Amino acid sequence: MGRTLEINLIDGSADGRYIISEMYKSSITYKVPKDKLGLSAELDYIATPGIYLLFGKDAREKFVYVGEAEDVYKRLSQHTPDKDNYLWDEALVFVSSKKGDLDKARIKYLENRLYNLIVAHKNYLLKNRNEPSKSVLSAATEETLENIILDIKQITEVLGYKLFTTENNPKKIKANLPTNSGQTAMPKKVTEPLTKLKQARYIFYLKEKGVNAKCIVDTNGDYVVTAGSVISKEVTKSLPDKLKKMRKTAVKQGKIKANRLTEDISFKSASTAAKFVVGYSINGRKAWKDSNGRELGKILA
């Protein structure tokens, strides 16, 4: 399934500011070059709660900073070379046109997830000094926010930022480009190639003593245990040797630190993913449950 994005070229040129929106969604994305920040205070939702990404390039490599704020415009204005020791070139701002959609707890969750995804993909130097704290939210709220994460992945990709690139995929996304006046008149449809992004079909959870894991079933049928999941410290004899070795390798590679995944890890079956998480033999189709407590096996019959 394709998606259609409305892209408004605020300044009438591709190297200027953008407003990106999608029909029937309240999410709004702004692309703001550093030299246009002073002109952007009048943008409708930029002074509301949201997430932002700062992009730039120093002598070594391209970099990114991920942040959150209850007034994004004010926070962007506070990012100066004197304070940050770097100069950003362009900001992507993710906000909502619906009041209350993105409260403090939700934007903190999104900030943490994006931070960990960027760390996992290793495509950009991350300028954050510390890992942002992660809010504790209901499973239903997390599901909603994970869909926002997927939207952010796609939009950054369309705009040319390969933050989450793993491999190429011929999937297309359509964008309706407006006239210079900001009014869409007979919009042109253009296509932009997307990399293969993990699209969540279902989200499941596995929680027991010492374990708090999340698993996304993507459109390829893979079972992806997400970064931030807490897995068991100990393993038993019933855990297959292959998974014991996989755990040890993940620790050596830094994919597991203090029993927490630092990046997503994919599996081909629900049970393999569950065994890896709990450290013993288990039926993943019964162990993984959605936010309503329904077993994976009953949903994916």
In this prediction, residue 258 has a pLDDT band, given cuts at 50, 70 and 90, of: very high
- Kindly report, residue by residue over 262-289, the tens digit of the pLDDT: 999 999 899 999 999 999 999 999 999 9
Q: How many Å apart are CA 30 and CA 7, to the nearest integer?
A: 10
Q: Mind listing the pLDDT tens digit for each residue in 38-90?
A: 999 999 999 999 999 999 998 778 999 999 999 999 999 999 998 998 899 99
Query: What integer pLDDT is reported at residue 279 of this predicted model?
Result: 95
- Alpha-carbon span 46 to 58, nearest angstrom: 27
CA distances from 187 to 16, 92, 143, 157 (A): 19, 23, 33, 21
- The span from the CA of 116 to the CA of 132, in Å, is 9
Give the pLDDT band of residue 2 (cuts 50, 70, 90).
Answer: low
**Phi, psi (deg, nearest 5) at residue 155:** -65, -40
Residue spans of beta strands (DSSP E) within the chain: 4-9, 18-21, 27-33, 50-57, 62-69, 90-96, 125-126, 168-177, 188-195, 200-208, 211-218, 223-225, 256-257, 260-261, 265-267
Residue with tokens 């040890």: 248
Task: Give the pLDDT of residue 48.
Answer: 96
pLDDT in tens, 223-255: 999 999 999 999 999 999 999 999 999 999 999
Is pLDDT of 170 > 50?
Answer: no
Backbone angles phi, psi at 81, to 5 degrees: -60, -35
DSSP codes joined into one string, 104-153: HHHHHHHHHHHHHHHHHH--SEE--SSPPP-----HHHHHHHHHHHHHHH
Nearest partner of 79 among 118, 128, 123, judged by Cα: 128
Phi, then psi, of 223 in degrees rounded to 5: -105, 110
Q: Say if residues 239 and 281 touch (Cβ distance below 8 Å).
A: yes
Structure tokens at 278: 């709990």
Concatenated DSSP letters for 34-53? GGGGGG-TTSTTTTSSEEEE
Token pair listed for 266: 């994919």
User: Could you tell me which residues come within 8 angstroms of residue 85 by beta carbon, excluding any fewer than 6 positions away?
Assistant: none
Q: With residue 284 as reference, give the H or E element that holds it.
A: helix 284-287
